[in-house]
């Protein structure tokens, strides 16, 4: 079970580990109400997190991988092209302004 009475230093250490591992949301969910209030009130914590972010960025810059969005963009382009083709080739229907349904209604009224 997680320690629920962590000090600011322990919280900062846990934050640094979560940032390094890419699981900051898990760290945030692990906070108790008291820890959250303690973090919100501590200017030292926020200053230290900035330092941790900078050090993390420098220390792991060579291992950082940016996502390649080329495949995603090509699929989006293909879907857009497909939709454009469908709208061009779709048969156009004549609007009858309800004349068929009105004629059916008149016939029905005549039979009554």
The 10s digit of each residue's pLDDT in 25-53 is 888 888 998 998 888 888 888 888 888 88
Confidence at residue 63, expressed as pLDDT on a 0 to 100 scale: 63
Q: Is residue 4 scored above 80 in pLDDT?
A: no
Q: Which of 31-46 are b and which e, b meaning 16 or more Cβ less than 10 Å from the residue's Cβ? A: beeebeebbeeeeebe
pTM of the model: 0.48
Distance between CA atoms of residues 37 and 14, nearest Å: 16
| CA–CA dist 23, 15 (Å, integer) | 9
Q: Residue 1: what pLDDT?
A: 42
Going from N- to C-terminal start, the domains of the chain cover: 1-89
pLDDT level of residue 73 (50, 70, 90 thresholds):
confident
Secondary structure E strands in 9-104: none
Q: What angle do CA 29, 30, 35 make, to 5 degrees?
A: 105
pLDDT band for position 94 (cuts 50, 70, 90): low
């Amino acid at each position: 079970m997680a320690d629920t009475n962590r000090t600011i230093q322990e919280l900062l250490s846990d934050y640094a580990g979560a940032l390094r591992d890419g699981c900051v949301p898990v760290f945030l969910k692990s906070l108790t109400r008291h820890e959250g209030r303690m973090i919100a009130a501590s200017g030292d914590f926020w200053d230290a997190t900035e330092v941790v972010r900078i050090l993390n960025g420098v220390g792991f810059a060579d291992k950082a991988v940016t996502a390649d969005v080329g495949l995603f963009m090509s699929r989006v382009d293909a879907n857009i092209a497909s939709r454009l083709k469908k709208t061009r080739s779709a048969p156009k229907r004549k609007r009858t302004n309800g004349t068929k349904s009105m004629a059916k209604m008149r016939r029905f009224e005549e039979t009554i």
